Amino acid sequence: MAQAVTAPLTQNVLRDGLILPRTPDPAAMVIFGASGDLTARKLMPALYNLALNRYLPSGFSVIGVADTALSEDEFRAHMEQAVQKFSRTQPVDRAVWKSLAEGISFVRMPFDDVDGYGRLATELERLDRERGTSGNRIFYLATAPQFFSVIIDRLGSSGIAKAGEGWKRVVVEKPFGHDLKSAQALNQAIHTVFTEQQIYRIDHYLGKETVQNVLVFRFANGIFEPIWNRRYVDHVQITVAEDIGIERRGKYYETAGALRDIFQNHLLQLLSIAAMEAPPNFDADSVRDEKVKVLKSIHPIDVANDVVRGQYGPGWVGGQQVPGYRQELNVAPISNVETFVSVRLKIDNWRWADTPFYLRTGKRLPSRASEIAIQFKNPPHLPFAKTAVQELTPNVLVMRIQPHEGASLKIGAKIPGPVMRLRTVNMDFFYGSSFLVESPDAYERLVLDCMLGDATLFAREDEVERAWALSDTIEAGWGAQAPPPFPNYEAGTWGPPEADALIERDGRRWRRP
Amino acid sequence: MNQNHTALTARTFVDVHAIQEELDQVRWGLHADGEGSEAAQHAAAEARASVLNLITVVSNEPELGKVSQVLDRLSVTNPSRTLILLAQHTREADKLEASVSAQDRTESGHRVTTERVILHAHGEPARHLASLATPLLIPDLPVILWWPGRPQFDNPLFDDLCELSDRLVVDTDEGFDDTDLTRLLEVARRKKARAGIGDLNWARLMAWRHVAAQFFDMPGMLARLAHIHGVSIFHGHDGSTAQARLLGGWVRSRMATVGIDVPLEFRPDESFEHGICRFLIYTGGDEGPARFSLGRLRGNRLSSQIRLGDQDLADRTVRLESRATEDLLGIELTLPGHDLQFEQALAAALG
């Protein structure tokens, strides 16, 4: 019984009311570096969990690319083992895995091998034909950064990345450059093949539920925005503290330091999210426009006075004796790489003029904590004259990213009794106490967003470059100074004394997270 | 997952003020005699997360036991105040008893506290339990009424509780007939004592609806949906058809929003006892005939296939969760107010 349709459907009416994300178009994901750690630990478990939860479309396919001696079956078996080991959901559903694995293939080739790209093109055409991927491709660069440029170049010269039928997107992993110049060069290299709309620079920090919740906290609750400005806020402290050392990453860390490893990305992301204006909507450019405006509004940094760097020496953390940075594996015994940075920033706009933002990050600090703390100004008048109350403790609103995600508000309350005495009370909200559900891994969210063409949680070119420019300013300032006498803080303490002096000069103190 | 479960207190009261006071004690850990160190008072001022009030009605002790077990498990994900009403108005002697308890759990380092009040009434007080429930609710939080089994639509207690609730949750898989479904729809549509309706059976259909909708997210498939000309649903042979009818009602109601009438066909399948087995959508039009099919596989899986003319496209297998009552209830508790898609699907199923 055919129906007479008055107008073509413009939307999928069966989707109305389903609290589920849109389904991505069938696509082929080409993972460069498919035999590496990132693919095994993060990407393949993320893809499996997306398949398990029905987020992947029929026909979704994966081509692993690596210069490793593996047959297709061996690659699939390797991926299955990875999913069994690292998937957040256990046990692994074999039928779902089998269904996903039917779309997994492997191309062995060095990343600069022109012939290899010919074989890759043939495989992609097969998938288009047999699995309906329709020319939709994601090129995921899960390799060491030195291979990014050559892969992009070959994708361009082989014609695989050319528009034609379907969409083409490229995912680039952090670190995106190691300074402004290298980031610009990499952007330029990628832009010879892909437009900015096709580029997804991944920083898994932004895929965390907890970071996204900061945006919800600010923009879905009307009570905070009216007081979220210089009139009511005394200052803001943003902390990304780690109690661990550099683990086995000495080689990398010697070229990065805390400035590149955390400040340039995680700390500046948190700063942008805490300080940005409300975007008109939650689409990629609206959100990223507001974040970039914050970075552009940062007052030129006076490195000599507003930045402190540190390096940990031996000490005790959590009851364990730990070595100093210079004694770590693959670290030079006279290394001057910083493991701690604190910075005082000012944002030159109407909302935040003259409101300092204190940022700090460090390794081997006493505890692990990532948080944004908004300290409010004291009431203008103390109404408790002739009582025992001599001063008030300022209200502090803390948004905790990890651990124990949530928010707390520090308020003053009267101690029961005939005498007027106040004490500070924390009103704590633990996110986990209200939503005891397992959050998806950041990679699940980000990979799905990329398939859907939503770049909101990915870094844009200007955002990355602006962040590098700030980092370079600090690096250049340090280059003009003699390095401090490293190590200058003991493991298990909150950084060098100069970091305390930085904030105490303004009559303020660091919070103990 | 580390889990610690402590019943803080369980005492019996008959007076609403006494119940309220005891609830305050268990909620904040206060001492009734007012004594306590400054540290204890500080601890008492700690905020508690609560997300809703949940009222449930049972008619006998065995049912109370079953419901309590579901609520125990539910409390892990929904810190709430729960009122269980054991209403036995057919018993002659008047009786009203209440017991108050709190469960304190630690899950993965997070502390969750749920307070529970069991109100047990015989005779006349059983008809007026809503008046006792009202002052015991946490202000400003949604009130959800979960009525296990078939609701007593003619019992005044049902109307009273609907009136103070934002949402009524039932399970139409528990033997609902057409009259029950019609009465249920009336609750959502009436002017007085109107509550949004949630159905655990509808929550069970989520995977079927999701995968069916995904067919038409695929490039080029939306145009085919405009030429839908039939739906076949195969269901178990145990005579229970509410789930199949809801699924059919869903397609029919969605397509009605764009002016398309969809004929529905229901068929029992001898190989399955209960629930939906297969769900087929047929389309035609200029693009040619197509069949979109979903099939339940053994082991809680769903297979989906598309056939365009005589060509099969890539199929896939996904998880079809077999959810426990507390999980289905948990889904319904996160939905605010009226679920228009459900109400329209129910109307279409009855229509």
Tens digits of residue pLDDT in B138-193: 877 889 999 999 999 998 899 889 988 989 999 999 988 889 999 999 988 887 76
Residue type for position A127:
L
Position A98 scores a pLDDT of 93
Whether residues B227 and A2 touch (CB distance < 8 A) is answered with yes
d(C-alpha A393, C-alpha A449), whole Å: 43
Share of chain B above pLDDT 90, in %: 38
pLDDT tens digit sequence for B133-147: 888 888 778 899 999
Whether residues A54 and B213 touch (CB distance < 8 A) is answered with no
Whether residues A433 and B47 touch (CB distance < 8 A) is answered with no
Residue in A with minimal Cα distance to B340: A17
Cβ pairs A/B, distance under 8 A: 160
Number of residues in chain B: 351
Provide mean pLDDT across the span A73-93.
94
Q: Does B319 touch chain A (CB under 8 A)?
A: yes
Q: Does B265 touch chain A (CB under 8 A)?
A: no
Provide mean pLDDT across the span B49-78.
86
pLDDT higher than 70, residue A5: no
Position A124 scores a pLDDT of 96
Tokens of B305: 């296939």
Q: Compute the nearest-CA separation of A15 from chain B (Å).
A: 5
Among the partner-chain residues A2, A403, A429, the one whose CB lies closest to the CB of B49 is: A429
d(C-alpha B217, C-alpha B228), whole Å: 15
> Which residues of chain B make contact with A424, given a CB cutoff of 8 A?
none
d(C-alpha B298, C-alpha B165), whole Å: 39
> Which residues of chain A make contact with B299, given a CB cutoff of 8 A?
95
Residue type for position A286:
S
Whether residues A2 and B229 touch (CB distance < 8 A) is answered with yes
Q: Which of A266, A299, A381, A404 is catalytic?
A: A266
Position B1 scores a pLDDT of 36
Whether residues A18 and B213 touch (CB distance < 8 A) is answered with yes
d(C-alpha B113, C-alpha B81), whole Å: 9
10 Å Cβ neighbour count for A477? 16
Position B36 scores a pLDDT of 44
**Whether residue A266 lies in the annotated active site:** yes
Q: Does B222 touch chain A (CB under 8 A)?
A: yes
Calculate ∠ Cα A490-A493-A497, nearest 5°.
80
Nearest Cα to Cα of residue A311 among A477, A493, A485, A486: A486
Mutant choice from B107, B202, B247, B319 vs A, greatest count of A C-beta within 10 A: B319
How many helices (H) does chain A have, and how many strands (E)?
16, 18
Tokens of A230: 């210089």
Mean pLDDT score of chain A, rounded to an integer? 90
Position A385 scores a pLDDT of 64
Residue in A with minimal Cα distance to B263: A1
Nearest Cα to Cα of residue B56 among B160, B131, B119, B147: B147
Question: What's the ipTM?
Answer: 0.78
Share of chain A above pLDDT 70, in %: 94
Position B49 scores a pLDDT of 63
Position B313 scores a pLDDT of 83
d(C-alpha A407, C-alpha A395), whole Å: 13
Q: Compute the nearest-CA separation of A17 from chain B (Å).
A: 6
Each as own residue / partner, the long-range contacts of residues A349-353 (CB below 8 Å, 24 or more positions apart, any chain) are A349/A293, A349/A297, A351/A228, A351/A229, A351/A230, A351/A275, A351/A277, A352/A229, A352/A230, A352/A275, A352/A297, A353/A230
Position B33 scores a pLDDT of 45
d(C-alpha A309, C-alpha A259), whole Å: 9
Give the list of residues 6+ apart from residue A365 with CB closer than 8 angstroms, or none. Answer: A241, A242, A243, A340, A492, A493, A494, A495
> Which residues of chain A make contact with B223, given a CB cutoff of 8 A?
8-9
